Structure 1
């Protein structure tokens, strides 16, 4: 049975060709099949669409109006199909990522560069925020994926860990006298402490661990940037809790020194999360696969 869409395709081809036989050749159909389709469409619309004459087949006034709309609609469908092919081949599209400033700078940037070089026509939209803010963006459909600090307890999300990271304490020259031996958390609390702001997922992870040891933290400074933690430690404003993997340059250059604790904070992870119930776009899928393949 010929579909309604096929009927309009046949109608437009006859209107363009001004001939049933020429339309049949263009459509790889028989002429009787084309004639039957036009008759079916005319019956369904209860209107005559063509004048059949020895000189050819011509649209009626009503047929001209229908041709204008039907031809435009078919052209739009063709453009839509071409766009779908572009998306499939990643020659178009958009990748929306939620990520914090620190993870973006120290982990994500090389992958953004590689993905852009591989798929230059895919646009990036980057949203910044804390892990909880980014998960809100994700659930609102404002981003496709979120690259953030784990652990993250949310049954609505699929989590894919990428790398392990370690939380440590660092200090500048003024406090290097405490580096001789590993220090307890009770002793550490006697010094001015520099932490990320309370809503940070990594801050909450560290605070929960230290609290499990019966120690309450009372930071002297609470900052919104990991880089500021290092800068505050460098100028001796206190002892900063930082991510070791993102502080290695400062440590290697001797700008700050790692303060060894008697008990290390358990490692955590950085990874990607996305909605369990929503399939990823092709661009997001390819991006996740690229990062995942590098961190297996």
Structure 2
């Protein structure tokens, strides 16, 4: 049986063309099929919609009233389908990303630039926070994806690694003598340490690794940002544990020095995560694809 929506589409076409035969031609239907559809609609509504004459058909008063509403509704459906197509083609939409300040600055920016250049009509919403905070707002639906430090112990999240990163210790001029030869982790923890706050994923990763070696740490300074770690080390307040890939400007300019270790901290990853239970939008899917394929250059 023909659907109610199809009946209304046929009704609007007949109302516009004022002819069963012309409407049938436009709809690639037979004239009897169009006539039968209109009669079915009239039976269901229990009202006559058209005046039939030898020269064609014309809308009744009731038919004219219905035509205004149905025609508007069908146009809205067309607009809705066009908008869906625009979303699929990435010609409109919004991409909501959760990311920390450090990863945003040293990793994400070139990807945002490349994506915006290719899809300029996609709007960005960037939400900052720690890895744990970002996981929370990801689950609340506030963001589509989150760019975070991996690994995460959360089975509800799909985790896609993007780049390897390495935790290192750096120092300023005062402690430059430490650079002459590798030192042990036991020796490192006896120095004045500058670390991120204990609730950061990066801090926990390093701390867990040291604990696996039977080493506990008690930092002199606990800071809220990676840039502050670099600055505190530069003015010789201690030895900072930083991400090598995000510290290249300081290392290359000789503002800081990498402290060589006899036992290097294993690499970890920066990656993108999203809810397993929720399908990504076309914009988010494309952005994840760009991240995974490493399609732009980033600081190393």
Report how many aligned residue pairs link the two structures: 295
CA deviation vs aligned residue, 1:126-148 (integer Å, no higher than 9, x gap): 11111111111211122221111
Alpha-carbon distance, 1:55 to partner: 5.2
What corresponds to 1:276 in structure 2? 276
Q: Matched residues in 2 for 1:194 and 1:67: separation?
A: 73
* Cα deviations by residue, 1:237-278 (Å, 9 ceiling, x for unpaired): 111110001111211111001112221111111111111122
Alignment partners' CA distance in 2, 1:232 and 1:64: 77
Shift of 1:235: 1.0
Q: Which sections of structure 2, spanning at least 5 residues, go unmatched?
A: 296-300
1:243 is matched with 243
Which residue does the alignment assign to 1:106?
A: 106
> Aligned residue for 1:194?
194
More displaced 10-residue stretch of structure 1: 227-236 or 17-26: 17-26
Q: What is the CA-CA distance between 1:54 and the residue it aligns to?
A: 4.1
Counterpart-to-counterpart distance in 1, 2:209 and 2:182: 17
Q: Distance in 2 between matches of 1:173 and 1:25?
A: 86
| Cα distance in 2 for residues equivalent to 1:264 and 1:223 | 23
CA deviations on 1:205-240 (whole Å, 9 max, x unpaired) are: 001111222222122221121111101111111111
Show the counterpart of 1:136: 136
* TM-fit CA distance, 1:158: 1.3
Deviation at 1:189, TM superposition (A): 2.5
What secondary structure does 1:264 align onto?
A: coil
Q: Please list, as runs of the form range in 1=range in 2, the aligned pairs for 1:36-55 lying within 5 A after superposition.
A: 36-54=36-54
Q: Give the whole-Å Cα distance in 2 for the aligned partners of 1:70 and 1:170.
A: 70
Q: Distance in 2 between matches of 1:59 and 1:235?
A: 85
1:103 offset after TM fit, Å? 0.9
Q: Counterpart in 2 of 1:178? A: 178
Cross-structure match for 1:28: 28
- 2 CA distance for matches of 1:32 and 1:177? 96
Which residue of structure 1 aligns with residue 203 of structure 2?
203
Correspondences of 1:222-233 after superposition (within 5 Å): 222-233=222-233
CA RMSD of aligned residues (A): 1.5
Q: SS of the counterpart of 1:48?
A: coil
Aligned counterpart, 2:120? 120
* Unmatched 5+ stretches in structure 1: none
Give a deviation string over 1:2-29, Cα, whole Å, max 9, x none.
2111100011111222222222222222
When normalised by structure 1's length, the TM-score is 0.95
Residue of structure 1 in register with 2:298 after alignment: none
Q: CA deviation at 1:179?
A: 2.5
Q: Deviations over 1:156-181 (max 9, x none)?
A: 11111111111011111112222233
| Cα distance in 1, alignment partners of residues 62 and 232 from structure 2 | 78
- Structure 1 segment 202-221 matched on structure 2, within 5 A: 202-221=202-221
CA distances 1:57-114 after superposition (whole Å, capped 9, x unpaired): 2222222222122111100110011112211211112222111111111111111111
TM-superposed CA distance for 1:198, in Å, is 1.3
**Aligned counterpart, 2:19:** 19
What is residue 75 of structure 1 aligned with on the other side?
75
- CA shift for structure 1 position 187: 2.5
Quick one: distance in 2 between partners of 1:58 and 1:276? 55
CA distance in 1, matches of 2:214, 2:2: 76
